[in-house]
């Protein structure tokens, strides 16, 4: 098989591929190598969710003149702005992780599509989660709900990736084990940060939200660690 070619999806008992085109499967199996519509749906939901976030920064009704400046300098607005930046970056981080995962996937089946749609469900709910976070104020409910959504998102994407390269055999041929481990690690790193913030929220919601800033360092640390391991193996 040539590098980059689509691997043959595993047949199951009762499968009957087309005689004219072995890559075609019965429609009830819902398997294919064409990922274009999967990408289109996924990117659309990512873009729509990121756009909706800005609605949380609307000025309160009746804010005019000098009151605008006061509001922009208030802790209420600054907290909302922080939540907006974090959530916007989190969605970008999930888009990047999703993009990396699917850059090594060469086909899909029903199970993978279901995992992807559940992942997108959590992406689509993030604007609401941010709204709940802002509305909760100092109550830990908003922080806990937001963090739980992020944890669930990471678990689903990690499960999707694990299924693709392990059970589904849907990844590109020649995928190195070290690459598989790196992608798995980065998929679970962000939700780990949010999981750690949940018990902290019951002590201080402010400290829990500050902990979320660690997600900015996760990609840098992951890349640095992977390169150090690769260099050590090359040197050995």
User: Residues of the chain whose pLDDT is less than 70?
Assistant: 1-31, 168, 226, 228-236
Average pLDDT of the chain is: 82
Beta strand extents in 54-160 (DSSP E only): none
Name the 3-class secondary structure at 108: strand
CA 104 from centre of chain: 16
Residue 63 makes CB contacts below 8 A (sequence gap 6+) with 71
pTM (2 decimals)? Answer: 0.80
Is residue 211 within 8 Å of residue 193, measured between CB atoms?
Answer: yes
DSSP conformation class of 74: S
Q: For residue 110, what pLDDT is reported?
A: 87
Q: For residue 30, what pLDDT is reported?
A: 67
């Amino acid at each position: 098989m040539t590098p980059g070619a689509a691997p043959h999806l595993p047949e199951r008992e009762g499968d009957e591929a087309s005689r004219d085109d072995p890559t075609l499967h019965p429609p009830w199996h819902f398997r294919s190598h064409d990922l274009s519509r999967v990408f289109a749906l996924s990117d659309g939901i990512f873009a729509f969710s990121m756009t909706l976030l800005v609605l949380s920064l609307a000025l309160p009704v009746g804010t005019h003149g000098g009151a605008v400046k006061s509001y922009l300098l208030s802790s209420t607005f600054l907290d909302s702005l922080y939540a907006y930046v974090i959530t916007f970056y989190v969605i970008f981080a999930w888009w990047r992780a999703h993009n990396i995962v699917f850059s090594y996937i060469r086909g899909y089946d029903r199970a993978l599509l279901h995992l992807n749609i559940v992942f997108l469900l959590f992406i689509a709910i993030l604007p609401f989660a941010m709204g709940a976070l802002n509305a909760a104020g100092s109550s830990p409910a908003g922080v806990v709900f937001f963090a739980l959504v992020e944890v669930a998102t990471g678990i689903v994407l990690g499960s999707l990736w694990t299924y693709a390269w392990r059970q589904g055999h849907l990844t590109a041929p020649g995928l190195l084990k070290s690459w598989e481990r790196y992608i798995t690690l980065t998929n679970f790193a962000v939700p780990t940060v949010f999981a750690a913030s949940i018990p902290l929220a019951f002590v201080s919601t402010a400290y829990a939200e500050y902990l979320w800033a660690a997600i900015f360092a996760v990609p840098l640390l992951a890349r640095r660690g992977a390169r150090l391991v690769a260099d050590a193996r090359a040197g050995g």
